[in-house]
A and B are shown apart, each in its own frame.
Chain A
C-alpha cells in the first residue's frame, strides 16, 4: 500500500515543477498546491462524514479514552481515588479468574467455531447448488434462529436443558435411559456451544451464500465441461474462491466467542454452581465493575481482553493468509 502512494507525487512533481527544484521543495510545493486545490473537497467530505464522526467520537472514541483513564486509577469504597498506574493491569495478568475465562472461551472456540462454520458452509453450498427444492424456505429456515434475540434463545434452551423437567429429561425417563445432564460441569461448554451454533449458523450461512452467488458462473461451467463432479467443483473452485469470506466469518466468530456474555449470563441463573462469576472474561468484567464496584479494575480487564482479541484475530488472519497464498498463486 505504501509504495504507490509515495511514487505518484514524485512523478507529478517532476512534471509540474521541472527537474531543477530540490526534491524536498518539490514535494512541499506540490503539497501546498494540492492542499489548496483539495481543501473544499475535503471540507465537503468531512461535512458529510460529520454525523458519523460525531457519533463515532461520542460513543466509541470518547468512551474508550474514558475507560482507558479509568483503568489507571483505583477507587475504593473507603478512601476515594488514587492513581494506580499500571497496577490494575499487573493484577489482571496475575488474576486466575480472568485466565480461567480466557481458557474456557478458547476451549469453546476451538470446537464451536469450526463446527458452526463447517455447517454454515455446507448449507450455503447446498443452497447455492441450484438444484435444491424450496430454496428460499430453507434459507429463511436456517436464518430464523438468528432473528431470535440471544436472551430469548438462552431462555428457550435453558428450559429445554432442564435437569428434572426439561423435555430431553422427560423423553429419556420415558425410554428408561439416564437423562443427559446438560447443565453439569462437563457438559456446560458443549451445551452453550450448541446454543451459539444454533443461533449463528444461519447468519454465517447467509454471508457465505452471498459470497458464493458472486462466484463467476463461467468458471463453474468450465469445470463442469471439463468433467468435474459437483463435489470436486465445490472443493476446488467454489470454496477457494470464497476463502476470504470464510476467513472473515472465522474472525467474527472468534471475536464473538471471546466476548461471549448473554448465553452464559442467563445460564448463571439456572446453573450457578457451574457458571460462576468468572466463566467468561466478559462476565468477569461485568461482575467486577457493576457488582463489585471495581470499575477501574473492570476497565483494565476490558483492555486486556481487547488486546487478546486483537492478537487472536491477527493470528487467525495470519495463518489463513499463509495457507491461502500458494493456492491463489
Chain B
C-alpha cells in the first residue's frame, strides 16, 4: 500500500467576475509515494504544488480524479488522524501561546490533558522553541512561527506528514535543524511529502522527487535515476602537465576548459564527444599524472530548469472546448 496515491487529479478554478473563465491549476496528476520515503514535490512558484496539497487536505475539492492516503480516500475522516500538515506561510491564532496552540490541536485528536501537555512540551523542544513558548504567537517572528507550524504538524505522531515549503523563513541554523528533523522522521518510518522550490533541500533529503510545471507533472522518479544517466562531459584532474602538453591536448576543441589548480596541476573539462581514454593515454605519454576522472552530471537544478522551461505554459481553458463532463482540456 502506498502512502499517497493520486489518480488523474485535476483542479480548475473559475477566474473573472463577469465572464468566468476556467483556469487549470492542476492537470491530471497521477503520483505514487511509497511509505517511509522522503518525497520532494518540486516546481516553480505557481506550478500547482500548494493546490495539490490543498486537494490532499480537502481544503479544496477536485474537479476530477481521485486521491488516497494510506489506502483511504482523502475524504475519509480517519485519514486526518494519520497525517500532519504544515501549510505554506502558516498563521495561527495569535492570541494563543505556542503551548496553548499545540495543546488545542492535540485536544482535537482526543488526547488527555496531561498527554496534550507532554506532547506540546516535547515537540516545542524538538523544534527549538524555548522559553518563548509562553508568549502569545503575535510576538513571534516568521521563523519561529514556521517552527511552531512544524511542531503542530507532528502533534499526533503522524504516519504521513505534508510540509509546504518547510524551510521558508528559516535562518541557516533553523534550516539545518529542520533537515535533521525530516531525516529523523524518515528513520522513524514516517513518510515525508514536502513541496519546495529550493532544490538543494530536495537534493539533500529526498529519495524520490516529482517536478511540476504549469499544473502538469513533468518528471518523477528516484533522484538517482533522474540524474544518473545524463552525463554532460568529463572532469579530468592532472598533475605534472607542461604548457606544451596542455596545448597539444587542447587541439581540436577536445578540452572545453582548463582551470589551473597550482603548479602544473589543471582541471580539464572534456566535451562529451571526446573519449576520455584517448586524452588520458596522451597525457600519460607526455609524463602527466592522472589525479582523478569524473563524469559531469546534471544537477537537480539543471534537470529542473530544462523540464520546467520545456513545459507548455498555457493554462487558460477554452470554454467551448470544455465538455459538460469535468475533464478539462487545454487550449
Partners in one complex: no
Q: Which residues of A pack against B, CB within 8 Å?
A: none
Chain B residues proximal to chain A, CB less than 8 Å: none
